[in-house]
Amino acid sequence: ALTIQPHDWSSLGASSTMDRAALPAAVEPKKKGNVRFAFACAILASMTSILLGYDIGVMSGASLYIQKDLKINDTQLEVLMGILNVYSLIGSFAAGRTSDWIGRRFTIVFAAVIFFAGALIMGFSVNYAMLMFGRFVAGIGVGYALMIAPVYTAEVSPASARGFLTSFPEVFINFGILLGYVSNFAFARLSLRLGWRIMLGIGAVPSVLLAFMVLGMPESPRWLVMKGRLADAKVVLAKTSDTPEEAAERLADIKTAAGIPLDLDGDVVAVPKNKGSSEEKRVWKDLILSPTKAMRHILIAGIGIHFFQQSSGIDAVVLYSPRVFKSAGITGDNRLLGTTVAVGATKTVFILVATFLLDRIGRRPLLLSSTGGMIVSLVGLATGLTVISRHPDEKITWAIVLCIFCIMAYVAFFSIGLGPITWVYSSEIFPLHVRALGCSLGVAVNRLTSGVISMTFISLSKAMTIGGAFFLFAGIASFAWVFFFAYLPETRGRTLEDMSSLFGNTATHKQGAAEADDDAGKEKKVEMAATN
């Protein structure tokens, strides 16, 4: 039997271009060790999402005590709750340029350091202004983390497991939310002045651990190729691909996308100098200023899925869950915080289920069924809350049970589809040269929408009743289902470089002519990359 060592790139000559279906199964064993290595990298990178999740979870309970201790009104409270999402816009836009400059790995470390500083400031806050400044600093760190985690994970993952691995950021957001809820419940019995400060300040601990663990990760192979470091990229690809042939194929695809000739090889090569300011102008032109029809489709799909993820009301449920449960008839801080822990546990369990379904069922079926379930749950929740609000002096048991059931169902449906798929889908559809900017824009829309919902929910529920607010979210979710059905194609099993074929030709006429020779066929790419 033919044996190919993981790093023996030269052994993959012209014979490697033969039809894979004609090769004996023993030639191309699936390397479980490589999947485990990519799995470990994805876990470490995605742990940055714990930072956002913890902040969302802990603020839902800490806000009860912050309002009492600092004596702030509802308007100040909702601004405090949602402003971190607006601040994170700075981090998400800066993360694209930073990650292209210092690399994906050190950008993750940078995000952890910033959040660490923000958590300490919040924990030691003595007034509302200092607390707001702490949320400003932490928000920048969250913006960095949200942009870089899915990008790194998508770039390091083999196509066969990319959906599974790229869903990890959402897994860790949910895990962070659960930790925040548990922190609320654990420290709620401390004194009023101390309790909420420990809840917020202890968020600095995971960021320290994360910063040190990430240093053991390899750099993204796509970033390495963009910097001309082909030898380093080959090592990472050999460790994260299912087969040696796939590693060679991924290298050829990345070189093509980066504008490096396929016959150019060496440990370090010169990348064609259309970089710098001219490259930045090209990125903005291709994606924003004068995109092709296919690129416009990609941009709308990437931004649209982020918008609908947040505008369908998830932060209203998660961030204000104690207030929602109180409106549903549950009283007492311990009961309220205990019920929110149940919400966090439900989200975490179902997001774990989703990770195993993404590469088996596909993105579209999960996304459409998830959104449909969310619509039904929101209508049920809105109905229950409306009934309870119209009978304030009565305890309507069936309506209370309906509200609790619908909240659990809503977060379950969200976590099994729209939650993780948003990050998976947006990180894999953008072409390489615009990926950092495209993902940054997606995260910016996500956080801005989340901020608007978070900072207006209390006012909205007062203006149109809390039941009316959730009827509104149900309507938005209905529009989301139509958008997903009409606009988002299936991406399961596609390589990142092959993704644009789903949307059409993303290159301009001049680019298409220049790259025509590089697209002679998959077999040619693999042969040339492997031989070199």
Contact between 467 and 383 (Cβ < 8 Å): yes
- From the number of C-beta atoms within 10 Å of its C-beta (0-12, 13-18, 19+), residue 270 rates as exposed
The pair of structure tokens assigned to 256 is 């093509």
φ/ψ of 142, rounded to 5, equals -65, -40
Answer CATH for 33-271 from 1.20.1250.20, 3.40.640.10, 1.10.30.50, 2.70.98.40? 1.20.1250.20
Is the Cα torsion angle 353, 359, 360, 363 positive or negative in sign?
A: positive
Instruction: State the pTM of this model.
Output: 0.70
Reference 370, options 212, 270, 477, 268; nearest CA is 477
Sorted by where each begins, the domain ranges of the chain are 33-271, 272-504
Torsion sign over Cα 69, 70, 76, 82: negative
Stated as kind and residue range, the H or E segment containing 355 is helix 333-361
Residue/partner pairs of 8-11 with CB below 8 Å, 24 or more apart: 8/244, 9/234, 9/238, 9/244, 9/247, 9/248, 9/530, 9/532, 10/530, 10/531, 11/244
**With left for phi above 0 and alpha for psi between -120 and 50, is residue 504 left, alpha or beta?**
left
Mapped onto helix, strand or coil, the DSSP state of residue 471 is: helix
Per-residue pLDDT of the chain (532 residues; tens, 9 = 90+): 333 344 444 443 333 333 433 433 333 444 555 667 888 888 888 888 888 888 888 888 898 899 999 999 988 998 998 888 888 888 877 887 888 888 888 898 898 899 999 999 999 999 999 999 999 999 898 888 877 887 888 788 777 776 677 777 778 888 888 888 889 888 988 888 898 999 999 988 888 888 888 888 888 888 898 888 888 989 988 888 878 888 888 888 888 877 788 887 878 887 776 544 566 677 788 888 878 888 888 899 999 999 999 999 998 888 888 888 888 777 777 787 888 888 888 888 888 888 788 778 888 899 999 999 999 999 999 999 999 888 877 888 898 889 989 999 999 999 898 988 888 888 788 887 787 788 878 878 888 898 899 889 989 998 999 999 999 999 999 999 999 999 888 877 676 666 667 776 555 544 544 444 444 444 444 444 444 4
- Residue 32 has a pLDDT of 56
- Residue 335 is encoded by which pair of tokens? 């009961």
Q: Which pLDDT belongs to residue 185? A: 87
Inter-residue contact 6 to 524 (CB < 8 Å):
no
The answer to whether 33-271 and 272-504 have equal CATH topology is yes
> For residue 163, what pLDDT is reported?
67
Q: Note the pLDDT of residue 323.
A: 81
| pLDDT of res. 508 | 53
Q: What class is the 272-504 domain?
A: mainly alpha
Report CA torsion sign: 132, 137, 138, 139. Answer: positive
Q: Are 316 and 473 in contact (CB under 8 A)?
A: yes
Rounded distance between C-alpha atoms, residue 146 and residue 447, angstroms? 9
Rg over alpha carbons for the chain, rounded to the nearest Å, is: 24
Assess contact for 228 and 268: CB atoms under 8 A: yes
CA gap 443, 436 in Å, rounded: 11
Q: What phi, psi does 488 have (nearest 5°)?
A: -110, 110
Report pLDDT for 203.
86
Closest C-alpha among 473, 285, 464, 294 to residue 379 = 473
CB 17 within 8 A of CB 526: yes
Cα 108 from Cα 44, distance rounded (Å)? 10
Cβ atoms < 10 Å from Cβ of 460:
18
Task: For residue 194, give every residue at least 6 positions away whose Cβ sits within 8 Å of its Cβ, in sequence order, or none.
Answer: none
Q: What is the pLDDT of residue 11?
A: 42
